[in-house]
Amino acid sequence: MPDKKDSFWRRLLYKYRLSIMNEDTFTETWHTRLSRLSVFVLLTLLFFVTLGIYSLLIFYTPIRNVLPGYSESIRQRLVEETVRVDSLSSTLAVQTQYLSVIRDIMAGEVKSDTVQSLDSLQIVQREQLLEAKNEATEEFIAQYEAKEKDNLQLFDVQQVSPVIAFFRPAHGVVVEHYLPENHCFGVAIQTPANENATAVLPGAILMVEYQINNTYLMAIQHQEYISIYRNLAKPLKRVGEVVKEGESIALASDKELLVFELWRRGESINPEEVIVF
C-alpha cells in the first residue's frame, strides 16, 4: 500500500498540460506544463510582487493620504503651516506700513505721530532740584523785588520754549561730521568694544531693519523728532516697544562705525548742535 505522504508529494509534483488551441482549426498555438507546486509558487510570487508595488505606491505617492490615521497628521501640519503663513503675512503687513510711514515722514509729506513722554527719574529729580524754592530763596526774592521794583522792567524777558535735553546715542568719538552737501546726514561715532546704543529721547521703536553689510538699522520716533541708528550689531528692542531716554536699544558693531542721524519734520539736524558727544 503506497504511503499517503509519498502520494501527496507525487500529486503535488505531478505535471499538467495547459494548451491554447485555435477554435476554427483545432491546432495548438501554445502550451505549457505546470504542476500544483509550480502554480502555488507562481501565485505566491505574484502576490508578493503585487504587494511590493502597492507598498511603493502607498509610501512614495499621495495615495498614502487616504490611509486611516495618516490624514490626521497631514491635516494638523496643514493647520500649523496655515497659521504660520497668516502670522508672517500680518508681520509683513505691519513692517510694510511702518516703512511707508517713516518714508512719508522723512519726505515731509505727513506730520509725525506724537508719542507720550516718559520722563526718566533723573530728569524729574534734576528739574525739581532746579525749580524748587525754599523759604530763604523766596525771602531773598521778595526783598530784592521790594528794593529794586523800579528796575524790574530791565529783566522782563519773553517766555521761551522749554529746552529738550538729549542723551548721547553712545559713548565714543565722532570721526565723521555732519555734511549734508556730501549726503552725510548724521555723524559717525567710533565706539568702544561691546558698547550699547541708547535712546536720545523718550519714544517708540519705529523700525528695525537688517542691512546688506550684516548690520541693523533702527529708527525711533520721539514726538516731532526721529532718530536713526545705522551699523548696529544686535537690536535689543522690537518694533512698537516704548523706550526711555538713556535706555539701551542695541549693541554697537565692533567692525563698523555707528552712524547716528536726527530728523525733525522731514529735515535733518546736525546732532552735534544739540548733543554733547
Do 205 and 239 form a contact (C-beta atoms < 8 A)? yes
The CA R_g of the chain, rounded to the nearest whole Å, is 43
The residues near 247 (Cβ < 8 Å, ≥ 6 apart) are 198, 199
Q: Coil, strand or helix: which one is 40? A: helix
> What are φ and ψ of residue 221, in 5° steps?
-100, 125
Q: Tens digits of per-residue pLDDT, 140-178? A: 777 777 766 655 444 444 544 566 788 889 988 999 999
Q: Is the pTM of this model over 0.85?
A: no
Cell of 106: 522723512
> What are φ and ψ of residue 202, in 5° steps?
-65, 145
Q: Tens digits of per-residue pLDDT, 198-235? A: 999 999 999 999 888 889 999 999 988 999 999 998 89
Predicted confidence band at 112 (pLDDT cuts at 50, 70, 90)? very low
Do 139 and 246 form a contact (C-beta atoms < 8 A)? no
From 178, 174, 235, 177, select the one nearest 207 (Cα to Cα). 235
Beta-carbon count within 10 A of 223 CB: 16
**Last residue of one domain, picked from the residues 40, 62, 84:** 62
Q: Tens digits of per-residue pLDDT, 169-182? A: 998 899 999 998 88
The residues near 271 (Cβ < 8 Å, ≥ 6 apart) are 169, 178, 186, 187, 260, 261, 262, 277
Predicted confidence band at 45 (pLDDT cuts at 50, 70, 90)? very high
Element (H, E) at 141: helix 135-147
SS3 breakdown of the chain: % helix, strand, coil, rounded to 5? 40, 25, 35
- Residue 52 structural domain: 4-62
**Last residue of one domain, picked from the residues 18, 45, 62:** 62
Residue 155 belongs to some domain of the structure: no
Report pLDDT for 3: 59
Distances in whole angstroms, Cα of residue 103 to Cα of each of 7, 98, 188, 259: 98, 8, 22, 19
Residue 26 belongs to some domain of the structure: yes
Residues of the chain with pLDDT > 90, as a percent, come to: 22
**CATH code assigned at 204:** 2.70.70.10
Residue 102 belongs to some domain of the structure: no
> Which of the two residues, 213 and 61, has the higher pLDDT score?
213
From 192, 209, 201, select the one nearest 257 (Cα to Cα). 192
Beta-carbon count within 10 A of 168 CB: 16
Report pLDDT for 113: 44
Residue 257 belongs to some domain of the structure: yes
Residue 253 belongs to some domain of the structure: yes
Residue 215 belongs to some domain of the structure: yes
Report pLDDT for 101: 72
The yes-or-no verdict on residue 81 having pLDDT over 80 is yes
Report pLDDT for 118: 40
What would the mean pLDDT of 259-271 be, rounded to a whole number?
Answer: 91
Residue 261 belongs to some domain of the structure: yes
Instruction: Please give the Cα distance from 179 to 101 (Å, whole number).
Output: 26
**Last residue of one domain, picked from the residues 45, 62, 79:** 62
> Which of the two residues, 150 and 248, has the higher pLDDT score?
248
Residue 167 belongs to some domain of the structure: no
Report pLDDT for 102: 78
The yes-or-no verdict on residue 128 having pLDDT over 80 is no
The number of distinct structural domains making up the chain is: 2
E-assigned strand segments in the chain: 15-21, 28-35, 173-176, 186-190, 196-198, 203-210, 216-222, 225-235, 242-243, 248-252, 258-264, 267-269
Report pLDDT for 115: 40
Q: Alpha carbon 177 to chain centroid distance?
A: 32
Q: Tens digits of per-residue pLDDT, 84-106? A: 888 788 788 778 877 877 777 77
Burial of 243 (0-12, 13-18, 19+ CB in 10 A): buried
